[in-house]
C-alpha cells in the first residue's frame, strides 16, 4: 500500500504570505495526486487534480506541482479563508483504491 | 451539480452492523459518470477511503476493511449504501458519501457522525 506523508503537520502564517505544502509518496505515483481543502465542520473540497490541474472554480493563487514521489501545493498569497487543513490523495490502479495523507493545518 | 445526502443511525452498538445510505440528486447512479464512494474521518483525524461502487455493480474496498465492508446500489431510489459489520469504538467517525471521478472526489455529502457505543 502506498503511504503519503505530508509536511509540516502545522504551519503558522499570516495573510498575504506565500506557502508551500509538501506531500511525499512511498513509491512513484506518476502524477496521480490530488489536493483537498477542509474547513471545520465541512466536507473536503477538491483543489488540484493530476498534480497540477486546478479544479473548477479554484482561484489561481492555488497551484500544484510534482511527479513521481514528491509533490507540492503552493498558495501564492494567503487569503483569510485559506486557513484550513489540506490533504493530498493518490489513486492506484491496482488494486483500485485511494489513500490520503495525514493533512497539514494552516493556521494564523 | 450533484448533491449527496447521508442518512442512517447516529448511534450503533458495538459488534452490530453500521448501515448508511446516500441519496443522490442531480445525477443518475446508473450513468457511469462517477464512482459512488464512502469515506470516513475519525474525530480530529485524517480521511480514510472505505470503498466505492460503479454503476455496473463493480466494487472496490479498502483492503484493511474489506472483510467487513459492503457497498451496494439501489437504483430504484437513486441511492447507494454502506454496511460495516462487527463495529467497535474504532469505527466511530464522520462518514461521508462522495462521487469520484478517476482523479478524485468531485461532490461530497455533508457527512454524518456515527458513534459506536458499548
pLDDT tens by residue, A67-96: 999 999 999 999 999 999 999 999 988 778
Q: Under a CB-based contact definition with an 8 Å cutoff, are residues A101 and A2 in contact?
A: no
pLDDT at A32: 95
- List the 1-60 stretch of B: residues with Cβ below 8 A of A: 46-49, 51, 60
pLDDT at B32: 87
Q: Which residues of chain A have pLDDT under 50?
A: none
**Dihedral sign of CA atoms B18, B24, B30, B35 in order:** negative
Which residues of chain A does B98 touch, with a Cβ-Cβ cutoff of 8 Å?
43
pLDDT at B89: 96
> What distance in Å separates the CA atoms of residue B98 and residue B100, rounded to the nearest whole number?
6
Q: Is the pLDDT reported for residue B110 higher than 90?
A: yes
Q: What percent of chain B has pLDDT over 90?
A: 90
Kindly give, in sequence order, each residue whose CB lies less than 8 Å from that of residue A60, ignoring residues fewer than 6 positions away: A54
Establish whether the linkage from the previous residue to A87 is cis, with ω within 30° of 0: no
Q: Which long-range contacts (CB under 8 A, 24 or more apart) does B65-72 make?
A: B71/B36, B71/B38
Phi, psi of B109 (to 5 degrees): -75, 175
Nine-digit cell at A50?
Answer: 493530476
pLDDT at B35: 94
pLDDT at B116: 97
In Å, how far is A6's CA from the nearest CA of chain B? 11
- List the 71-100 stretch of A: residues with Cβ below 8 A of B: 87, 89, 91, 95-100
Size of interface A-B (CB pairs under 8 A): 53
Nine-digit cell at B46?
Answer: 485524517
For residue A55, what is the DSSP state? P
pLDDT at B85: 97
Which residues of chain B does A1 touch, with a Cβ-Cβ cutoff of 8 Å?
63
Mean pLDDT over residues B1-20, rounded? 97
In Å, how far is B105's CA from the nearest CA of chain A? 7
pLDDT at A16: 95
pLDDT at B44: 87
pLDDT at A30: 93
In Å, how far is B97's CA from the nearest CA of chain A? 10
Q: Which of B73, B67, B103, B63 is nearest to B86 (CA)?
A: B67
Nine-digit cell at B83?
Answer: 454496511
Q: Which residues pair with B23 in a beta bridge?
A: B5, B79
Between the two ends of chain B, the Cα-to-Cα distance in Å is 40
A46 in reach of chain B (CB within 8 A): yes
pLDDT at A93: 81
Tell me which residue in B60, B102, B104 faces A46 most closely, judged by beta carbons.
Answer: B104
Amino acid at each position: 500500500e502506498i503511504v503519503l506523508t505530508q509536511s509540516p503537520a502545522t504551519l503558522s502564517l499570516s495573510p498575504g504570505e506565500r506557502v508551500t505544502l509538501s506531500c511525499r509518496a512511498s513509491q512513484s505515483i506518476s502524477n496521480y495526486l490530488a489536493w483537498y481543502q477542509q474547513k471545520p465542520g465541512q466536507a473536503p473540497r477538491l483543489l488540484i487534480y493530476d498534480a497540477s490541474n486546478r479544479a473548477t472554480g479554484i482561484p489561481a493563487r492555488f497551484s500544484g506541482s510534482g511527479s513521481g514521489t514528491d509533490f507540492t501545493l503552493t498558495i501564492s498569497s494567503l487569503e483569510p479563508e485559506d486557513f484550513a487543513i489540506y490533504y493530498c490523495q493518490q489513486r492506484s490502479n491496482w488494486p483500485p483504491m485511494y489513500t490520503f495523507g495525514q493533512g497539514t493545518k494552516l493556521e494564523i | 451539480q450533484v448533491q449527496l445526502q447521508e442518512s442512517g443511525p447516529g448511534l450503533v452498538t458495538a459488534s452490530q452492523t453500521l448501515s448508511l445510505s446516500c441519496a443522490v440528486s442531480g445525477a443518475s447512479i446508473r450513468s457511469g459518470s462517477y464512482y459512488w464512494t464512502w469515506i470516513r474521518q475519525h474525530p480530529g483525524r485524517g480521511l480514510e477511503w472505505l470503498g466505492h461502487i460503479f454503476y455496473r455493480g463493480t466494487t472496490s474496498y479498502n483492503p484493511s476493511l474489506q472483510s467487513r465492508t459492503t457497498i451496494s446500489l439501489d437504483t430504484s431510489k437513486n441511492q447507494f449504501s454502506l454496511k460495516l459489520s462487527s463495529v467497535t469504538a474504532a469505527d466511530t467517525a464522520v462518514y461521508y458519501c462522495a462521487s469520484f471521478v478517476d482523479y478524485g472526489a468531485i461532490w461530497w455529502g455533508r457527512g454524518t457522525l456515527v458513534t459506536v457505543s458499548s
